Structure 1
């Protein structure tokens, strides 16, 4: 009898590390999408934008919609290597968000508003505005992580470096090594994040 696959939990330390990398890659993605989007991308983004502004429904419905937005923006960026790099980070980060949501209605409303900001900027072909909107979403996820799980004492510096990088400036990725954060834990930081696990049919989170 099969025992199934054990998916290790994502802890706050992992989520901070994921968001640090996700931040830089998504800014690149939205910038590229502003200049490389094709008419069919714009048409589909408009449709998704309308859904984000309407009655989204359940948390599962919201999760599916978010996945569509991320996938379409990555497609509009026109770089398969970038898309492949972002997808597993988003999947793991979403799983953390999904499993720690306390007030679903409030969190979905916040996430939808921030995602609309990204979509609007991409549709306007404004790369600076799109980058700021992407950073705003990442800041929200950093704050969410901090609120639901008090970080280890060695992580507040990373959180401060991640959040509010500076309006109008390109985000700078922290020079801290994820391996350093995991010293003494008995495992490397990338062991549990080598690939994105299946979410059991739920493309969860923001």
Structure 2
């Protein structure tokens, strides 16, 4: 799959999200724009623009004249998030199955293979990259800008929660995500919706497990 060249802002966004996901930026800690710019060897403008996107997605909290804080995650917040994500994700998958272009379906099949391979190789960075692509391609294929606006914060926060606690779980959701992509690639709306619900069922059970730890 051909990757698009990222703008500086988009590159900063992707790198900062990855640093949050993999706890290179610690929950509850405060950082300045200058610190983050130095970490990524970038100017402050793309950092500032990337942080605005991340703040909208609730991945960071921005406090004027104080800095940027990485918010803590809770089981309660994640369960509430999944309540909202379930119907939107199912709608997104169903629309994608109906509206995906031939090229998008080809990308879906490639992503289905790639995400399973990443899980098999236990390559967390590659899995994170593929998971972002899975989410982005599904939203793009739905051809609905309102779904795009609704899904971005829900998916980003869900990714962060899973990566934070994944070491406590013996299951892996790669095959579930792959089933969504394969159903969309077939143009099978019913199966795509069911597969999307299966992903949320897994995430809900995964989240509840954290209460017992």
Smaller-chain TM-score range? 0.5 to 0.7
Specify which of 123, 132, 136 is matched with residue 185 of structure 2. 123
Cα-Cα RMSD: 2.0
Specify which of 75, 99, 106 is matched with residue 164 of structure 2. 99
SS in structure 1 of the partner of residue 167 of structure 2: coil
* Partner of residue 208, structure 2: 146
Matches within 5 A, 1:33-52: 33-52=96-115
SS in structure 1 of the partner of residue 69 of structure 2: coil
- Alignment coverage as a number of residue pairs: 148
Separation (CA, whole Å) in 2 of partners of 1:5 and 1:33: 36
SS in structure 2 of the partner of residue 5 of structure 1: strand
* Partner of residue 83, structure 2: 20
Separation (CA, whole Å) in 1 of partners of 2:100 and 2:163: 29
Which ranges of structure 2 fall in alignment gaps of 5 or more residues?
1-30, 33-65
Give every structure 1 segment of 4 or more consecutive aligned residues whose post-TM-superposition deviation is greater than 6 Å: none
Give the drift of 1:150.
4.3
TM-score (norm 2): 0.65
SS in structure 2 of the partner of residue 102 of structure 1: helix
1:96-136 Cα shifts (integer Å, max 9, x gaps): 111111157x44xx311101111111111111111111111
Separation (CA, whole Å) in 2 of partners of 1:64 and 1:55: 10
Separation (CA, whole Å) in 2 of partners of 1:113 and 1:127: 18
Which ranges of structure 1 fall in alignment gaps of 5 or more residues?
152-206
